[in-house]
Amino acid sequence: MNADLRALSLRDADVVAARTEALRLYERRYRHNPESQRAMVGALQRLACTFSGGRYDASTFPWEILVDEELADDMWGTVARGVAQNTAQRDASALRILLGCLRRVGLLTEDQYGHARDFKVRPIGQARPEPGHWLSTDDVETILRSCAAGDGTVLTRTRDLALLFTLAGSGVRRDEVHQLRTQDVHPAERRIWLRDPKGGEPRSAIVHQATIDALAAWLRLRGNAPGPVFVPLSRVRPLVNKGALSDHQIWKIVRARTAEAGFTNIAPHDFRRFFISNLLNTTDVVLVSRIVGHTRPTTTAKYDKRPEERQRDAVATLHLPSLSVIARSSNHEGGTVA
């Protein structure tokens, strides 16, 4: 009896070790993109916790039981009904990727993996409104003017104004702003260097001249000592030795400054939407996608928040002859138009 228990214990230990390795492989897949890694690990956590009623999390759930499409579909369908459609799609992708990792470590056979990953992704889940807010050029100007005359010291207003100009005049994400260093700002070339953007490959971001001017004004007060561009402040000086503003601090500044101007629930990413939407008025989508660091123009197109009025104006520029001209032509040729 003791020998049987010992064998069972060893076998369980092997399964747990293999499961841990599968989860490690899964996380490693997203190692170059912390934002995606958080989202995809969160998807596994949601699948495990929701399906098990809170008894398991991603690290303890026995994923190896998902040996066919019926079991995998039961898990995904149970979770998908309670989340937004986009989240449900991400969860399905996460589950399929993890199944592949389980196969690699030997917890699923090739046949089990082939069956399990064939679960059908159906259009279920809760529809939700398009994310983000439309900011017009007048809105952004209102926000910038409000910040320039708003609360705080000259130091605070100058820093926050440079932050808003950077978001609006380059389309960079808030975590990319968080990483910005003084040596990454290149005024003569109107560009900033992004060390670790979402796509993983360092790149230059071209910025508006007004952004360069606002950064220069802030750096004159901050000083040119190497380090983060955007730093916390005391009442009288920049705290350069305290590190960069965190993502959350940047979010709080944007929320406070836009609220001061009379806008509600504006996030840093809304300035990226502003940047892309307005560039699309004058620039083709392929070039815009290069400017903002998207690998596919279809991703850029999803950021287009221009209202229907802009769409009507765009369609109105199409050259078509008027109905009256066509009618006159038809009458001359002996035809009739109602």
**Structural domain boundaries of the chain?**
2-116, 137-307
pLDDT bracket for residue 8 (50, 70, 90): very low
Per the prediction, the chain carries an average pLDDT of 86
Edge-to-edge strand order for the sheet containing 191-194? 185-186, 191-194, 203-206
- The answer on pLDDT for 62 being more than 90 is yes
> Residue 310 pLDDT > 50, yes or no?
yes
Instruction: Please state the rounded mean pLDDT for residues 153-179.
Output: 94
- In this predicted structure, the answer to whether residue 273 has a pLDDT above a threshold of 50 is yes
By 3-state DSSP, what share of the chain in percent is helix, strand and coil, each rounded to 5? 60, 5, 35
Domain 137-307 is in which class?
Answer: mainly alpha
Length of the chain: 338
Q: In the chain, what percentage of residues exceed pLDDT 70?
A: 84
pLDDT at residue 4 is higher than 50:
no
Per-residue pLDDT at 153 exceeds 90: yes
Contact between 62 and 18 under an 8 Å Cβ cutoff? The reply is no
| pLDDT of 314 above 70 | no
User: Which is more confidently placed, 8 or 174?
Assistant: 174
What pLDDT, on the 0 to 100 scale, is given for residue 251?
A: 95
pTM above 0.85, yes or no: no
Which residue intervals of the chain are DSSP H helices? 2-28, 34-51, 69-80, 85-104, 110-116, 137-148, 154-170, 174-179, 209-222, 247-260, 268-279, 285-292, 297-301, 308-316, 323-332
pLDDT of residue 3: 45
Which pLDDT tens digit goes with each residue over 96-137? 999 999 999 999 999 999 999 988 887 766 655 666 788 889
